[in-house]
């Protein structure tokens, strides 16, 4: 177990290093100069030169990269020129909002996804099953920003029963969380449906039925539990999707998370914040994957660690 964890951890570190490097290169390849954005259009060339020097932008790229990696190891992403604060602090103070949004989206996905999946599985190949399948396909095909704007128009503008922006209440969480969750409810539903149908054909189900257990007990206690294994793997990835997809959804609903911060920082070439946010997202994603690998083992002790 320890050796396995150690190896996965080393892989994770390598992935994080790769992500930081790609982000660093991508940002420098983009046209646009922070010094110009800071000083505005009336800046003199001398002032620009001086500021570039202060920001370290006049160094060769490799030197900038080395400095950057050294700072990142010390968890120092530098100073946000837009907000005049430490970039990582600016990111971390908004991470909570993003995580709570993602967590609620996850709760909605799990509850509705399992409900839809088991509903469809128990009525396999009836019109109800097909209805669930078709709507889940439609749900997955719709882009999140469109779903967001539609939900906002319907529930906030026309019906006026839900707030369209974050105001610190639980109610204001509903629209963005549903927007994030909807495309994945159908996806999870189909996963659960397939899982259940496969399990239903297993010998142990027949045995359980044969020894006189009620259909409900067999279904909810045995079958559903066994479908969890593939589903949990997917849920770990899903949390990562939610954090990343949140970027657009946060902008639509003025949700004060790292997504809206990221968009703003890219526009103004606030390198430090962009790097901090992307690194935090990457680390979250990789750690979640690690967590899933570990959970996997606990859910199904039969799984061989070395082959996992």
Partner 1 sequence: MTATEGVGRRRFLSLLGAGAAGASLPGLVTGCAPGGKGTGPAAGGNRPLSAAFYQAINDLDPHGASAVDEASLLANRQIYDTLVAWDGAKATPGLATSWRQPDETTWEFTLRDGVVFHDGSKLTSADVKASLERLAASDGPQKPLWSTVDTIKAPDPSTITITTKEPVGTLLVNLTLAFILPAAQIGKGDLSRKAIGSGPFAVESFTPSSQLLLKPAPGYWGGASKLAGLRLPYIPESSTRMTSLQNGEVDVTWIIPPDELERLRGVDGVKIESKPGVNYFLTWFNCGRKPFSDPRVRRALLHALDIKTIVSSLYGDAAAVMDAPIPSAVFGHAPQKPYAYDPDLARRELAEAGHGSGIRTSMMWFKDTGPLATELAQSIISAWAKVGVVVEPQQIEKAAWLKRLTALDWDIELQVNTVTTGDADYTLGRLYTSEANRMGYANKELDGLLAKAKATSDQDERKSLYGRACEIIWRDAVGVFPAALAATYGLRSSVAGFVPAANSQPEFRTVSTTG
Q: Phi, psi at residue 80, to the nearest 5°? A: -80, 115
Tokens read off for 82 = 């837009």
| Per CB under 8 A, 65 contacts partner 1 | no
Please identify, among the stretches 40-48, 60-68, 131-139, 193-201, the one whose residues bind partner 1 according to the rule CB under 8 A.
40-48
Angle at 155 between CA 150 and CA 157, to 5 degrees: 85
Tokens read off for 76 = 């120092």
Interacting residue with partner 1 among 39, 99, 229, 283 (CB under 8 A):
39
| Per CB under 8 A, 116 contacts partner 1 | no
Q: Looking at beta carbons only, is 190 or 269 nearer to partner 1?
A: 269
Angle at 174 between CA 170 and CA 180, to 5 degrees: 130
Site string for partner 1, 168-197 (x = CB under 8 A): xxxx--x-----------------------
| Per CB under 8 A, 81 contacts partner 1 | yes
Tell the smallest beta-carbon distance from residue 274 to partner 1 (Å): 12
Angle at 68 between CA 67 and CA 70, to 5 degrees: 65
CA distance 38 to 47: 11
Interacting residue with partner 1 among 20, 87, 88, 90 (CB under 8 A):
90
160's enclosing H/E stretch is: none
231-270 residues near partner 1, rule: CB under 8 A: 251-254, 256, 260-261, 263-264, 267-269
Query: Who's near 8: CB < 8 A, 6+ residues apart?
Result: 290, 293
The site that binds partner 1 (CB under 8 A) totals a number of residues, namely 56
| Per CB under 8 A, 128 contacts partner 1 | no
Q: How distant, in Å, are the alpha carbons of 6, 109, 236, 239, 255 from that of 105? A: 31, 6, 13, 9, 14
Q: Looking at beta carbons only, is 72 or 173 nearer to partner 1?
A: 173
Interacting residue with partner 1 among 15, 64, 83, 194 (CB under 8 A):
83
CA distance 75 to 87: 10
| Per CB under 8 A, 2 contacts partner 1 | no
Partners of 126 in the β-ladder: none
Catalog residues that contact partner 1 under the rule CB under 8 A. 30-33, 36-44, 47, 50-51, 54, 81-85, 90, 93-94, 149, 152-153, 156-165, 167-171, 174, 251-254, 256, 260-261, 263-264, 267-269
């Amino acid at each position: 177990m320890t050796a396995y964890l150690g190896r996965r951890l080393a892989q994770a570190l390598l992935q994080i290093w790769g992500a930081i490097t790609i982000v660093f290169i991508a940002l420098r390849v983009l046209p646009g100069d922070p010094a110009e954005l800071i000083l505005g259009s009336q800046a003199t060339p001398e002032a620009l030169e001086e500021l570039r020097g202060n920001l370290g932008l006049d160094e060769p790229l490799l030197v900038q990269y080395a400095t950057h990696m050294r700072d990142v190891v010390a968890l120092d992403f530098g100073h946000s020129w837009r907000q005049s604060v430490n970039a990582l602090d600016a990111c971390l103070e908004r991470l909570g909002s993003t995580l709570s949004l993602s967590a609620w989206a996850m709760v909605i996905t799990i509850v509705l996804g399992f409900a839809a999946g088991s509903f469809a599985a128990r009525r396999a190949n009836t019109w109800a099953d097909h209805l669930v399948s078709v709507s889940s396909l439609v749900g997955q095909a719709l882009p999140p920003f469109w779903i967001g704007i539609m939900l906002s128009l319907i529930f906030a503008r026309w019906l006026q029963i839900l707030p369209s922006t974050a105001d610190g209440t639980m109610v204001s969480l509903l629209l963005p969380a549903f927007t994030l969750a909807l495309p994945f409810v159908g996806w999870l539903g189909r996963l659960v449906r397939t899982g259940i149908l496969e399990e239903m054909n297993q010998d142990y189900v027949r045995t359980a039925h044969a020894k006189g257990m009620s259909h409900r007990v067999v279904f909810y206690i045995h079958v559903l539990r066994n479908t969890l294994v593939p589903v949990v793997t997917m849920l770990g990835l899903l949390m990562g999707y939610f954090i990343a997809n949140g970027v657009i959804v946060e902008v639509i609903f003025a949700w004060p998370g790292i997504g809206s911060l990221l968009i703003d920082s890219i526009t103004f070439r606030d390198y430090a914040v962009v790097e901090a946010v992307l690194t935090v997202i990457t680390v979250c994603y990789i750690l979640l994957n690690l967590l899933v690998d570990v959970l996997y083992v606990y859910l199904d002790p039969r799984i061989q660690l070395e082959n996992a």
